[in-house]
Amino acid sequence: MRDAFAQEMTRLAAEREDLTLLSGDIGNRMFDRFKQVAPERFFNCGIAEANMMSVASGMALSGLRPVIYTITPFTTTRCLEQIRVGVAYHQAPVVIVGTGSGLSYAELGPTHHSLEDMAILRTLPGLNVLAPADSAELIAQLREAINTPHPTYMRIGKKGEPLLHGESAQLGIGKANLLRDGSQLLVVGVGPILSEALKAAETVAPKGYSVAVASLGGVKPLDTTFLRLMAQRFTRWLTLEEHGIIGGLGTALLEWQAESVGPTISIKRLGVPDHFIHELGDQTYSRRLLGLDSTSLAQTFHNMMEE
């Protein structure tokens, strides 16, 4: 995903003269082509995220379209105050990109995990909170974010995530898509972890379980039209996110349910339990440990069907 991001930023920099890219001293060589296209519009702001965020809001208030890029915890919770005041309150059209989100950098330890970002940032008025599932969704959302007058936060993965969306998908901010249709259970998720749900849905299909998988694209704004449509088709829902269980997508959907379709559907939530992770391994290991890998998900689907 991060390579797709860098390539798209280079294309955007060539297209529009108001685009700037601010990096928190990461992405060595990754932005070489951007720097060739627009050397005066690339800023390595150093390891100083609070300042970087405020600089971006100042640029945006002067008419530029700054995009901030660094590892997720450092571009979110590290500088939350600057996001809240400079970006959200001012409605400065900054695009904040957190790379290696969720458990992408699982082996780097809790300092590099981002399992609270969506929960915290979706409380800020006027800030889009996006979590694209693949590069196609990322590019569509990035292009739209650059063109909206509002600020956007986007959490992305790292390298090599599979493409999950078909060519007919309607991608963008607040746009949900079915990645796989089904009839008995709906998995509603965000982010690259949806690849695990798709594999699990394949696994349980021969047993006669029909599982649909949807990417919501983010937690704010929610595609409520899509959700209402799905509520007419599915009563059993499972939310999936590579994020803490408190406050993220699952919570957002419970809030939506309480204020719309009520008990006509039942929602179970899957995410990272409410504790820091000390048993370190790579992302695959960590997902397995937490019951978020395809094998565990297949078992969860099975259990839900048999209830």
Question: Which spans of this chain sit near another protein (rule: CB under 8 A)?
Answer: 17, 20, 40-41, 43, 45-46, 48, 50-51, 53-64, 66, 81-82, 85-86, 89-91
Scanning 148-243, the segments in alpha helix (DSSP H) are 194-204, 224-233
| Residue entry with tokens 């995410």 | 271
Question: For residues 93 and 271, which CB has a smaller minimum distance to another protein in the complex?
Answer: 93
Shortest approach of another protein to residue 61 CB, angstroms? 7
Of residues 20 and 203, the one with the C-beta less far from another protein:
20
Return d(Cα 147, Cα 195) in angstroms, integer.
Answer: 29
- What is the CB neighbour count within 10 angstroms for residue 201? 24
- With respect to another protein, which residue has the nearer C-beta, 46 or 109? 46
Sign (positive or negative) of CA dihedral 67, 125, 187, 175:
negative
Q: Count CB neighbours of 123 within 10 A.
A: 12
Contacts for 186 with CB less than 8 Å, ≥ 6 apart: 211, 212, 213, 214, 230, 233, 234, 236, 237, 238
User: 213-242: buried (b, 16+ CB within 10 Å) or exposed (e) per residue?
Assistant: bbbbbbbbebbeebbeebbeebebbbbbbb
- Separation CA 229–CA 70 (nearest Å): 36
